[in-house]
Amino acid sequence: MNISKEKDFSNWFNTIISDAQLCDLRYNVKGFVVFRPWAVKTMKLMYEEYEKVLEKNGHEPAIFPSLIPEKNFDIEGEHVKGFTPEVFWVESAGDSKLEERLAMRPTSETAMYQMYSLWVRGRVDLPIKIYQSCQVWRYETKATKPFFRSREFHWIEAHDAFATKEEAEAQVEQDMQMSKQVLTEKLGIPFVFFQRPQWDKFPGAVNTFAADTLMPDGKALQLPSTHLLGQNFSKAFDVAFQNEKEEKEFVWQTCYGPCISRIYGALFCIHGDERGLVLPFEFAPLQAVIVPILGKGKDGASIIKYCQSICNILQGAGIRAKVDESENTPGFKYNYWELRGVPVRIEVGGREAEGAKATILVRDGEKKDKKEVAFDELVGHIMEEGKKLSMRLKRQADEKFANSLHEAKTMHELGEKLKLGGIVRIPFVSMENDSKKYADEIKEKFAGDVRGIKYPAEKAPSGEKCVVSGKEATCWAYVAKQY
């Protein structure tokens, strides 16, 4: 590739999704893309990891229908107002016009909660903690960008119901911890959790909390969000139970939505380099590729046989490995697998085959970093190098993210810091709806969005004035340009 991710991110992004065969934009419905095998293999591993964490924390899997009757959307007014403009509607089946329009789910509250109302009778039926891994459809009117923003995306949504407010609030905290477990600890993606302003919360929620990371061009990308729904939906859908006094109580609800396709986009953008993808070892579709080097005068058959023996022992140890037996030159193979981010390259020529060794190079290394490893040490060496690679990627991403957090005390300073890219902390008047006009002023002047306040909340500013209104600041707000 040889394209600088930092200096020309848009070109780098468009080139890598094409050259590394991550997706194809030529599907003939606007805003819809085809995810190709190399991307899907990693996304499946990500789904597997997230589902494991969800189930460890008491969630159970379910599958709900993709179509939702229009009347379900009319039950919760704020929710329908927020989502109706984005809904794809099914109005006919074959030659027959449907009596009622059906929505292709933009999210599943209106599908799931009418079922919860049938399932919950007493406190013994609580809590409900259910997730589904599925697709959702939204008619995005903003410019679509594969992985980041499209009209069909692939996610997990967890919908929970509890007897008390305290349990629901605890679930929101647990959702944040699950985000940290998967995104930061496993994928090496740094982020900050923000409590969104009241004007930017999920339709129908009491509060929204969302994880924001940064792309190489300095723009923010929202990753998992979790929502304290309170009793707004339970009252609308009559999800209630009889308490010990035989009184009717409405449940307290939360929902949580990690978008796997978007997280995958963040993953390869944060860790990639000018040569292509760089992937954490655990999530690479192929963890080790073995490249035979068939020099003149060497016994090609014996080298291939030795390569196969290496592959067998690696696969037996649970390492995803293959021998590249194509007729391409070794140099072509090196570039091909580097572009795809294979963590470990194993080079085997006549010298290695005769000496029962292999030459190893890790994806983020240089030619000088090659190591010769004995056959019986290969499994342990590759596992250790893979672990170190994942740790390096996390450390580098954390350092870059920390260096992209700025502070401004005036509008002029805010504008200058936003030019640098990243997230800027400012003293701000409040996160309530009546302060939206000041956020709009920032948006109009600098194309920056008020992302919210950091969670857990920081100590309120002392003696600081809001950078926009000049009024007494009650909070530290964070501003960034966004996808």
Which tens digits make up the pLDDT trace of 355-405?
999 999 999 999 899 999 999 999 999 999 999 999 999 999 999 999 999
pLDDT of residue 143: 66
Average pLDDT over the chain, rounded to whole? 96
Across-strand partners of 249? 241
Cα(179)–Cα(226) distance, rounded to whole angstroms? 10
Has residue 298 got a pLDDT over 70? no
**Tokens read off for 476:** 């530290």
Has residue 286 got a pLDDT over 80? yes
Which tens digits make up the pLDDT trace of 416-434?
999 999 999 999 999 999 9
pLDDT of residue 85: 84
pLDDT of residue 130: 98
Residues 302-329 have a mean pLDDT of: 97
Has residue 212 got a pLDDT over 70? yes
Cα(143)–Cα(150) distance, rounded to whole angstroms? 8
pLDDT of residue 6: 92
Residues 80-91 have a mean pLDDT of: 87
Determine whether domain 288-385 maps to CATH 3.40.50.800: yes
- Of the pLDDT bands very low, low, confident and very high (cuts 50, 70, 90), residue 454 is very high
Across-strand partners of 131? 61, 158
Contact residues for 270 (Cβ-Cβ < 8 A; gap 6+): 188, 189, 190, 213, 215, 216, 397
Higher pLDDT, residue 85 or 256: 256
Q: What percent of the chain has pLDDT over 90?
A: 92
- H or E segment and range at residue 35: strand 34-35
Lowest-confidence region among 21-25, 83-87, 248-252: 83-87
Give which of 114, 116, 117, 90 is closest to 102, Cα–Cα.
90
How many distinct helices (H) and strands (E) make up the chain? 14, 23
**Tokens read off for 12:** 């780098």
- Of the pLDDT bands very low, low, confident and very high (cuts 50, 70, 90), residue 117 is very high
Domain-by-domain residue ranges, the chain?
Answer: 9-271, 288-385, 405-480
Which tens digits make up the pLDDT trace of 4-19?
999 999 999 999 999 9
Reduced to 3 states (helix: H, G, I; strand: E, B; else coil), residue 162 is strand
CATH topology of domain 405-480: Translation Initiation Factor IF3 (3.30.110)
- Of the pLDDT bands very low, low, confident and very high (cuts 50, 70, 90), residue 61 is very high
- Of the pLDDT bands very low, low, confident and very high (cuts 50, 70, 90), residue 415 is very high
Give which of 334, 304, 363, 265 is closest to 17, Cα–Cα.
265
Has residue 234 got a pLDDT over 70? yes
- Of the pLDDT bands very low, low, confident and very high (cuts 50, 70, 90), residue 76 is confident
CB atoms within 10 A of CB 372: 12
Q: What percent of the chain has pLDDT over 70?
A: 99
Has residue 75 got a pLDDT over 70? yes
CATH code for the part of the protein at 9-271: 3.30.930.10
The two beta strands, 248-250 and 240-242, are antiparallel
Q: Strands of 67-69's sheet, edge to edge?
A: 67-69, 96-104, 88-93
Has residue 297 got a pLDDT over 70? no
pLDDT of residue 249: 97
Has residue 294 got a pLDDT over 80? yes
Has residue 299 got a pLDDT over 80? no
pLDDT of residue 224: 97
Answer whether 9-271 and 288-385 agree in fold: no
